[in-house]
Amino acid sequence: MENKFAVTATELLAYASKTLEEHGYRRADLDLNHNWRTVNARLFEDDYAIVAIVVYETWKDLSSNWADAQALLVELISRYITSYDAKSWEGYLVLLTPSPVGKQDRSEIIRIRYDISRVRKLIATGDDIKTLEDVKQVLLPLLPLQVETVEQVGESVLAILPNLLSKRGLPEQAIRVVVDAFLEQRPIVESLHNYRTENENKVD
């Protein structure tokens, strides 16, 4: 059965840990108690949240033991943070297993997700994780928004026109001349004409 899983529990834990660390989380190497050591778990913290990643080999392990993991996390938070501290409400439990879930247990996943009585749970099983990249999707609620995407989109539409139209067979630099003339409110066709005559052999 285990051979059927493309991603192992170790890989899941390693990738999830790496992802969090890459996005500003710090690993908490505390003197964790025995129960923590027995599970495949890591603890992380950033300015807002305390995140515990717990990976189970099988869905069965997960469904049987996630409550213990939650209890351990709550206990840990309470050890370090007072209940008056807003951060004491910021516990996140990431429950992962490479094992798929049978149809009869899908409702159990929803039940766990919707149980927010103590901490918020992010849960993914072998049904959701086909590659390591899928782990990042699970962790998204904990990660900062990707800045590079925002900046990419912010480009002026006119600035992307030359490249866009060049893909449709139009001379890119000529389009750039047209756009520049339009933006600078210069005579457009005249600017294009001057450019074309000055670069007679470059524009067709």
DSSP letter string, 1-24: -GGG-SS-HHHHHHHHHHHHHHTT
- Residue among 152, 184, 198, 201 that touches another protein (CB under 8 A): 152
Question: How far, CA to CA in Å, does 36 sit from each of 7, 24, 179?
Answer: 23, 23, 62
Query: Angle, to 10 degrees, between the axis of helix 106-114 and the axis of helix 59-80?
Result: 10
DSSP letter string, 133-149: HHHHHHHGGGSPP-HHH
Residues 6+ positions from 108 with CB-CB distance below 8 Å: 63, 101
Binding of another protein by 154 (CB under 8 A): yes
Binding of another protein by 150 (CB under 8 A): yes
Please identify, among the stretches 7-15, 34-42, 62-70, 145-153, the one whose residues bind another protein according to the rule CB under 8 A. 145-153
Site size toward another protein (CB under 8 A) is 74
Q: 120: how many CB neighbours lie within 10 A of its CB?
A: 17
Rounded Cα gap, residues 36 and 15, in angstroms: 19
Restricted to residues 4-23, the positions that interact with another protein (CB under 8 A) are none
Binding of another protein by 143 (CB under 8 A): yes
Rounded Cα gap, residues 41 and 20, in angstroms: 13
Query: Angle, to 10 degrees, between the axis of helix 172-183 and the axis of helix 157-166?
Result: 160
Binding of another protein by 199 (CB under 8 A): no
Q: What are phi and psi for residue 144, nearest 5 degrees?
A: -65, 155
Binding of another protein by 128 (CB under 8 A): yes
- Residue among 16, 94, 109, 135 that touches another protein (CB under 8 A): 109
Minimum gap (Å) between residue 122 Cβ and another protein? 7
Restricted to residues 26-85, the positions that interact with another protein (CB under 8 A) are 26-28, 30, 43-48, 50, 76, 78-82, 85
Binding of another protein by 197 (CB under 8 A): yes
- Residue among 86, 103, 198, 201 that touches another protein (CB under 8 A): 86
Binding of another protein by 104 (CB under 8 A): no
Please identify, among the stretches 11-19, 53-61, 62-70, 169-177, the one whose residues bind another protein according to the rule CB under 8 A. 169-177
Q: What are phi and psi for residue 124, nearest 5 degrees?
A: -145, 140
Please identify, among the stretches 1-9, 34-42, 57-65, 141-149, the one whose residues bind another protein according to the rule CB under 8 A. 141-149
Binding of another protein by 141 (CB under 8 A): yes
